Amino acid sequence: MEFTAYQIADFLQGTIEGNPNVKINDFAKIEEGRAGTLCFLANPKYNNYIYDTQATIILVNKDFVAEKPVSATLIRVENAYEAVAKLLAFYEKHTEKALTGISQLAFVAPTAKVGKNAYIEQFVVIGEGVEIGDNAKIFARGTISENVKIGDNATIFSGVSIYKDCIIGNNCTLHSGVVIGADGFGFVPTDDGTYKKIPQLGNVIIEDDVEIGANSTIDRATMGSTVIRKGVKLDNLVQIAHNVDIGENTVIAAQSGIAGSTKTGKNCMFAGQVGIAGHLTVADGTKLGAQTGVAGSIKTPNTIYQGTPAVPVGIFRRSSVVYKSLPEMQNTIIQLEKRIKNLEEKLYKN
């Protein structure tokens, strides 16, 4: 598909600087731009590439100021990052192949209900009492156990397992290897040193517009539900334990884990390898830096924490400066100890 700068600017409600009739048929990173591609510039760290790139069209923020001439046609928008996301979504929607129908190599239980225009690939297993919404897509080797409900326009990629009684909302995306509703990690220590399993009788509820990255796992509740609220985005390799409640529009990066019965607020942002202990609350708008370990509840909204144990980011930064100086501080302390010892010896002699 080809688009002119004029068409793109009209779609994004942007303004053009340059030739409105130039055409693009592909996308590229700004440092790899070539003729016929569209790039975007949102991070100032990449500003230098805009002067050398061979890209035909570049999306930039309205407040971008060029320090020297730019050969590409610019389209100024409010937010270049959001604009390119909108454009990519439009492009994907209009280029992807329409998929409907049920493969003869899939198994669909007699009591399952499959919505209009749904697509089910080969070797998918759909259990008894399952309900699948309109336009849902389930790719190869998926296992949807009994009484699961999947909403309209959901996309379930290959190798996903959804255990019994779980609920997946509308417009959700589950990437390959995701496991929804496996048993929570519940065991009781006994007098003889062994552990007795606590039956996990609850389920997982995933609300609308949630995306879950590859090989992430969300455990079923012991009782009640583990809940992933509307608009949540989970990266690959994220672990959500039993009875956790993740607030609306929270984003969690890869290799993070949240222990049982913790409740996070809405609009939180957790970077990679964050760990949160169980039975805590995390306030709305909390941001946690990479590898942060949270051992106690965070009650103040819209704060940034980092480190293990987690502390406000300002304290963490000041502590980091001190940490880097520890070898020099140790040498200073050793020298001071020697001087004190010498002074004490002189005093005792006198």
Distance between CA atoms of 7 and 329, rounded to whole angstroms? Answer: 62
Q: What is the pTM of this model?
A: 0.85
Distance between CA atoms of 331 and 24, rounded to whole angstroms? Answer: 62
Domain 160-309: what homologous superfamily? Hexapeptide repeat proteins (2.160.10.10)
pLDDT of residue 245: 98
Distance between CA atoms of 42 and 213, rounded to whole angstroms? Answer: 24
| Annotated domain spans of the chain | 3-95, 160-309
pLDDT of residue 291: 97
pLDDT of residue 350: 64
pLDDT of residue 110: 97
- For residues 228-241, average pLDDT: 98
Q: How would residue 45 be classed by pLDDT, with cut points 50, 70 and 90?
A: very high
If DSSP codes are grouped into helix, strand and coil, which group holds residue 217? strand
- For residues 3-12, average pLDDT: 95
Q: How would residue 57 be classed by pLDDT, with cut points 50, 70 and 90?
A: very high
278-298 residues labelled b (16+ CB within 10 A) or e (exposed)? eebebbbbbbbbeebbbeeeb
- For residues 286-295, average pLDDT: 97
pLDDT of residue 206: 98
Note the CATH number of domain 3-95. Answer: 3.40.1390.10
At residue 303, does pLDDT exceed 70?
Answer: yes
At residue 96, does pLDDT exceed 80?
Answer: no
Q: Are 196 and 178 in contact (CB under 8 A)?
A: no
Positions marked catalytic: 242
Please provide the average confidence, as pLDDT, over all residues in the chain.
95
3-95 and 160-309: same fold?
no
β-sheet bridge partners, residue 167? 149, 205
If DSSP codes are grouped into helix, strand and coil, which group holds residue 117? coil
The beta strand positions in 78-160, using DSSP E, are 101-102, 107-108, 113-114, 119-120, 125-126, 131-132, 137-138, 143-144, 149-150, 155-156
At residue 341, does pLDDT exceed 90?
Answer: no
Cis peptide before 309 (omega within 30 of 0): yes
Q: How would residue 94 be classed by pLDDT, with cut points 50, 70 and 90?
A: confident
The predicted-structure confidence for 145-175, as pLDDT tens digits, reads as follows 999 999 999 999 999 999 999 999 999 999 9
Tokens of 69: 């001439």
Q: Are 77 and 42 in contact (CB under 8 A)?
A: no
Q: Are 279 and 263 in contact (CB under 8 A)?
A: no
Q: How would residue 81 be classed by pLDDT, with cut points 50, 70 and 90?
A: very high
pLDDT of residue 153: 96
Tell me which residue of 145, 110, 137, 138 sits closest to 123, measured CA to CA. Answer: 138
